[in-house]
Amino acid sequence: MYKEAADNIYLVEIPLPNSPLKVLNSYFIRSDTGGRNLIVDSGFNNDICKAAFYEAMEVLGFDKNNTDFYATHLHGDHLALMQAMEDVNIYFGRFDAEYLERREQQNKKTGYFGGRNIYLAVELFGMPKEYVEVLFKAEFMKNRRHDRNNYIRVDEGDKFSVGSYDFEVVLFAGHTPGQTALYDKNKKILICGDHILGNISPNITFWETDFDSLGNYLDSLEKAKKMDIKQILCGHRSNDFDVYARIDEIIKHHQMRLDEVVEILNREQRNMTAYEIAAKMTWSVKADMWSKYTKEQQWFASGEALAHLEYLHKRERIKKYIIDEMLYYSI
């Protein structure tokens, strides 16, 4: 399914099987001046995503000979299908590309191809080891080309001219270490990936000790707030919302999360792992209690809890300990 979201920009809905996100918004930008087209974000590397993606290319008249590809960030629902393509130009944010490169170098040293980060994160989160096998089978982990590194790396301020559009790359770190967006200052259109979403909150998780995920994300929201945006094109769900009001809502949401984490630690008065804290936090999912959540939901919730814990620790509001290769936090 596709529709024209703006002049010569088509929103193509790519189904996301086995994902609560349900659909990726991929953007097909047609050059009306004889230059090259651009497609932003792609979907998982599976048969369902491929069928929808390539059907849209055929119907809209896009092919590998007249089209470049742009991934806003490293998550599989945005990048994996592009990773599988041969003989195409894939533009990708430098910091996300460098993160994937570091991870692949670690994998080669340790033999954990495609998944050392899962093993390490399960330990750091304080999760039971049984979660590792479940997560390896999750859709977001399947069919990734972790060894691919021939992206055309982009930096903030780089320019993209596609037909009548003059896009500039904007760095919105937080959701991933180097998520980027495309902004046309004259037309006031922002293609933002998962930086701002209308009716769900982007997952902010722990990436690396030196990267302050939540701190960077909140700074990036303030950055977006200063931009003149008349139309936003997001990675998921509807684009029909007030951008600036939504930014304020998301900031308030994370402030409430931070307060909740501190309240839990104050109440418990003990060292706690991210997994233990996540189990006591409030989550907007259909399941009515932590024990009913899927292991994937618990994984994402624990990562988000850890991002908030690290934010608080870096600002000396809570203490952190490493015990038996697990991270613990306390007041």
Q: What structural domains does the chain harbor?
A: 2-115+142-249 (3.60.15.10)
Which helix or strand (DSSP H or E) is residue 27 part of?
strand 23-29
Nearby residues of 3 by Cβ (< 8 Å), 6 or more positions away? 10, 11
User: How high is the pLDDT of residue 290?
Assistant: 81
Tokens 């369902």: give the residue: 48
Is the pLDDT at 309 greater than 70? The verdict is yes
How many angstroms separate the CA atoms of 62 and 226, rounded? Answer: 34
User: How high is the pLDDT of residue 291?
Assistant: 80
Residue 178's pLDDT band (boundaries 50, 70, 90)? very high
Is the pLDDT at 106 greater than 90? The verdict is no
Alpha helix (H) residue ranges in 111-212: 116-125, 131-136
Which range is most confident: 113-122, 129-138, 142-151, 196-205?
196-205
Nearby residues of 49 by Cβ (< 8 Å), 6 or more positions away? 14, 15, 16, 17, 24, 42, 43, 81
Q: How far, in Å, are 23, 124, 177, 203, 277 from residue 118 at the CA level?
A: 24, 10, 17, 17, 19
Residue 293's pLDDT band (boundaries 50, 70, 90)? confident
Alpha helix (H) residue ranges in the chain: 47-60, 76-83, 94-110, 116-125, 131-136, 213-225, 243-268, 274-278, 295-314
Better-predicted residue by pLDDT, 270 or 124: 270
**Nearest alpha-carbon partner for 266 in 313, 318, 307, 322:** 318
User: How high is the pLDDT of residue 287?
Assistant: 64
pTM (2 d.p.): 0.94
Nearby residues of 120 by Cβ (< 8 Å), 6 or more positions away? none
What are the backbone angles phi and psi of residue 244, rounded to the nearest 5°?
-70, -35
Is the pLDDT at 239 greater than 90? The verdict is yes
Nearby residues of 95 by Cβ (< 8 Å), 6 or more positions away? 171, 173, 177, 178
How many angstroms separate the CA atoms of 65 and 74, rounded? Answer: 24
Is the pLDDT at 114 greater than 60? The verdict is no
Is the pLDDT at 136 greater than 90? The verdict is no
What average pLDDT does the chain have? 92
- Decide: 125 and 310 in contact? Cβ < 8 Å: no
The one-character DSSP state at 24 is: E
Nearby residues of 256 by Cβ (< 8 Å), 6 or more positions away? none
Looking at 95-109, 229-243, 269-283, which range is the least confident one? 95-109
How many angstroms separate the CA atoms of 94 and 140, rounded? Answer: 21
User: How high is the pLDDT of residue 221?
Assistant: 98
Which range is most confident: 39-43, 117-121, 139-143?
39-43
189-193 and 231-234 strand pairing: parallel
Query: What are 11's strand-pairing partners?
Result: 3, 27
- Decide: 182 and 191 in contact? Cβ < 8 Å: yes
Both tokens of 320, joined, read 């952190």
Three-class DSSP category at 31: coil
User: How high is the pLDDT of residue 111?
Assistant: 62
